[in-house]
Amino acid sequence: MTATITLEKNRTPRQRLAASAYQGRHAAVTAGSHLFDLMALGKALILCPDAYRKLKPELQRHGYQQKPNLPRVRGKCDATKQFAPNAYFLVKGEAA
Q: Are 77 and 48 in contact (CB under 8 A)?
A: yes
> Is there binding between residue 82 and another protein (CB under 8 A)?
no
Q: What is the dihedral of CA 52, 55, 59, 60, to 10 degrees?
A: 100
> Is there binding between residue 49 and another protein (CB under 8 A)?
no
Binding residues among 14-43 for another protein as defined by CB under 8 A = 14, 16-17, 20-22, 26, 37, 41-43
Residue from the set 3, 11, 27, 57 that interacts with another protein by CB under 8 A: 11
> Is there binding between residue 4 and another protein (CB under 8 A)?
no
Q: CB under 8 Å, gap of 24 or more: what pairs does 53-56 form?
A: 55/79
The residues near 62 (Cβ < 8 Å, ≥ 6 apart) are 39, 92
The contact set with another protein (CB under 8 A) reads 10-11, 13-14, 16-17, 20-22, 26, 37, 41-44, 46, 67, 69-70, 72-76, 85-87, 89, 91-92, 95
